[in-house]
Structure 1
Amino acid sequence: MKAWQLQAFGRENLVLNDIPQPTPGPGEALIRISSVALNYRDKLLYDGNYNPHLEFPMTQVADAVGEIVALGPETSRFKTGDRVVTNYCTRWIDGPPTSKESLYTLGNVIPGALAEYLVLTEQALALAPSYLTNDEAAALPCAGLTAWYSLVEKGGLNAKQIVLLQGTGGVSLFGLQIAHAFGATTIVTSSSDEKLQRARALGATHTINYKTHPDWEKEALAITNKEGVDQILEVVGGPNLAHSIKAIRPEGQISIIGIIDGFDATIPLFGMIQKLGVLRGITVGPRRALEDMLRKFDELKLRPVIDSVYSFHDARKAFDRLEEGAFGKIVIRVRD
């Protein structure tokens, strides 16, 4: 079968290889992949920043949808023909994570889904919502669950809250859609007025251009009558975290998701103490939360925002688009 594998660190070392088709063992399923979706984490991987000890060659990409075509012994959660999506943390089923549960991720420690076929434990799969296309379903697992787990499970999202979403990447747009669906007030930041206009069309209540307003937290405080926001999806990291702390209300929550502007941050500790603020690191979420999210999406009929779709053989162009910065999710269609 064909698989896109990273031969060494560097995007130029992503190569389309012929490798043996895997066979499912006990408790495993063989999935014929239909579509996959990219995440910023994929860039961190090939740049060598996510796992400096990555073993090569490694098939890339964690988010996928496909059809189960064979089952190994002692496999009972699914049947052949089921359409399933992957769960990012393949060993995190439910409850609080352990360090090991967050380590076993596709395209990192185990082979990823940018291939014609994938073998995965049935515990790391969930049924795909029937109303979504393959391209849409592939976009859900990582970015969608990250936003859901942050806002709903850990943040107790409700209609009275004010939620600030940073940028217009996959996690932030899922956060916008989820918060809007729950009736919350939303604030979206971006350096592009065009993207902010598109965010308003998706339901953003307020928008802030952080290029024209570098101290964007002042704008957020003005919008909230100086009270601050209830939740922030922090996807930027680095120095931006200090701005986020200034923007939250007392007992406000910041979900730390991204590190676009740096792995380290200097933060105003006294301000954090005064506000009784909550800083919480987020590593996507367990399969149980993914299944809860998928049921709610099915109820609400939410559809992911797809930036662009590429063919399997044009996968390199999809990674080029990832470097440019997308509005929503980038999808690679493995088969029609």
Structure 2
Amino acid sequence: MSFAGRLGAFAGLSLLAACATAPTGGPVPNLPPAQATHPMGLAGWAQEDHLAALKAYQAGCGADRTEPGKRTCAAARAMRAADPQSARHFFETRFVASPVEGTGLLTAYFAPEYPAKAQADAEFSAPVRPRPADLVKGQAYAERSTIEASPPNGALAWMRPEDLFFLQIQGSGYLTFPDGRRQRAGYAADNGRQFVGVARVMVQRGLLAPNQTSGDAIRDWLAANRGPSAQGVMNANPRYVFFNLLPDDHGDPPGAAGVPLPAGRSIAVDPSKHSYGELFWIDADNPTLQGAARDYRRLVVALDTGGAIKGPARADLYMGRGAAAGAEAGRVKHPLRMWRLTPVG
């Protein structure tokens, strides 16, 4: 489905407010440059949970289709009885680390869970729409405002309008029905329109204070102002995502690479700059962001993408499923430096 292939991993909730300015440049070659260094020199390397990182790499490395990547992946997957020491040795002997150009931005996203109904009512009035038959990939389709005003033909389910809006931002999630049934809402297609963060729009319109633009604040405002006012805000983002409903396998959703996303260990990247299955070290620090973790220093695998993820030093960290993952994801907006770990053999 491309869990993030949606709006762009559909970026974490922080992308409701703004997207980082993306550095420009051509694709980064999948070769160790002259400044490549040993992973042991990375800040925080000694404190890393190398065994957790190895498990994530084993799960996602099959997406790396380069010959060195295939060999290294096979070696990793052969380590069926690894421990922290052998996992660390694996990374230190099989990879070199090279810095990715520039300082960028780390955000985060998650797989949300929302209530839904099979039939519409006054509260659950937003249709979960399937992919339209006349949508052509690569061609711009109608904007959100036009789609919202059209008949809900073939609606898959019905949600609260603000919940559907956030589901579209995340690009995928899980629906719970009154009878206890659970289904995964998977990304089916989008209308090809550019994502616009609504937080800035709401501040400009005097609807929210500049320091009150969290995902929770935006959702609460939309819920309290359902109808034309909320719809006018949501229409400021012309991007619209269509879904299909799938059985809930109780696991994490697949990303653009077709691999289930390891929570806390997989990132969405710009595929014009990086390749799926590549291993990275992220170093993101924001000691002044209230309520957020001070830093994120860890090994991650590139397994997803998203329309708002642009530039080499730009990543969206997948946090997992549900409310707790969403709460953490909404607080991640950290300056980011990245290192690519390239197989040496």
Q: Give me the TM-score of the superposition, normalised by structure 2.
A: 0.26
